[in-house]
Amino acid sequence: MAKWRVGLIGNGGICKGAHLSTYLNDERLEVAAVCDIIEERAQFLKDNYFPDAKVYTDFNELLKDETIDSVDICTPNYLHSIIAVAAFEAGKHVFCEKPDAVDVTEVLRMNEAAKKAGKTLMVMRNNRFVDASVFAKKFIEKGKMGDIYCGRAGWQRRRGIPGKGGWFTTKAQSGGGPLIDLGVHMIDLAIWLMGNPTPVAVSGNTYMKFADNDSSDSVNSDFGDKNAEGTFDVEDLAMGMIRFDNGAVLQIEFSWASNIKEECRFVELRGTKSGMSWRNGVLELFTEEDGQQLNITAPNCKENNGHANNLKHFYDVVIDGKEPIFVGQQGIDMIKILCAIYESAKTGKEISLV
């Protein structure tokens, strides 16, 4: 059977660190082309992993190849929707790194382009695919949490600003700071576990307190290309609350830099039958039985490669017709939430989403 031909667009850190393993280990796939504005990055992938791949520095030239079935987009945020729309117009399926887009207009545009082309759009939601998340979802779907009515979600770093002075900290290219960078991960996981209720309103605040601080205690600060003379016009901390149509609420907190004990990723949910804590990939359940309160750590939940599992799921969908776990409306809701929190922070008011 002919292999599924893929074009990798954006060949920097996230491509090599989180996507590459899929293309080296899935026998259904062939990387037909690599593309990066820094040609040396694309050439590195060709020379070391994909000798038969064509090298491009312009994604528009790559998209002219009619034999390519799908593209995997790993570029700075502002290019996600631009490349995705062009790919759909060229008849390709699209997998894209998070966030879906940098504003609501762009996320709507890319989803409309996918529908018009009749192609699949999937955006990275890797935390859905780690063991603890899969276990928690099954636990919830069996009704063991009862009515989930509130929760907390966040990703807090003590010092971990990525690519300072580069595109990460330049709002025109990134769309924002840790809220749009880290928020997608844990907000999505929380809402997915809650059963994907519809967000109806948000409120929030953002702060920029560490633009002049260069210390680091996180490997995540190695991401991106630093520029000592560059821009820092995004927040380093965002906090807020999301209200849903079913009456549930979710508190959120995301920081690149904050005076806390240690870096932590978490989702906490409270239900009428049980509560749960997902913390750095470890799942604990708080319930009761026969009048006794029980704390249970979910067994055999390793923090496995959610990125690779998410990519495998995409190819299961486009090649084998599997039902997608992620659908476009979830991405639209996500960008609406993030942009509305930024608007709330600017205006000091709750922002309605309906």
**Beta pairing, strands 282-289 & 275-279:** antiparallel
Provide the β-strand partners of residue 352: 201
Question: What is the per-residue DSSP string for 242-289?
Answer: EEETTS-EEEEEEESB-SSSS-EEEEEEEESS-EEEEETTEEEEEEEE
> Residue 238: its pLDDT value, please?
98
Cis preceding-peptide flag for 197 (omega within 30 of 0): no
Kindly state which CATH superfamily the domain 4-123+308-324 is placed in: NAD(P)-binding Rossmann-like Domain (3.40.50.720)
> Residue 158: its pLDDT value, please?
94
Spans of the chain below 50 pLDDT: none
> Residue 182: its pLDDT value, please?
97
> Residue 309: its pLDDT value, please?
96
Q: Give per-residue pLDDT as tens, 26-52.
A: 999 999 999 999 999 999 999 999 999
> Residue 299: its pLDDT value, please?
81
> Residue 312: its pLDDT value, please?
98
Strand intervals (E) in 157-248? 199-207, 237-244
CA-based nearest residue to 97, from 126, 130, 57: 126
Cβ(270)–Cβ(147) under 8 Å?
A: no
> Residue 220: its pLDDT value, please?
82
Provide the β-strand partners of residue 93: 70
Can you give the residue ranges of every domain in the chain? Answer: 4-123+308-324, 127-304
Q: Give per-residue pLDDT as tens, 109-162.
A: 999 999 999 999 999 999 999 999 999 999 999 999 999 999 999 999 999 999
- Fold matches, 4-123+308-324 and 127-304: no
> Residue 301: its pLDDT value, please?
79
> Residue 214: its pLDDT value, please?
87
> Residue 237: its pLDDT value, please?
98
Instruction: Output the CATH code of domain 127-304.
Output: 3.30.360.10
- Walk across the sheet containing 351-352 and list its strands: 292-297, 282-289, 275-279, 264-271, 148-156, 249-255, 237-244, 199-207, 351-352
> Residue 305: its pLDDT value, please?
82
Two structure tokens written together for 283? 């799942």
Q: Give per-residue pLDDT as tens, 305-322.
A: 899 999 999 999 999 999
> Residue 348: its pLDDT value, please?
98
> Residue 279: its pLDDT value, please?
95
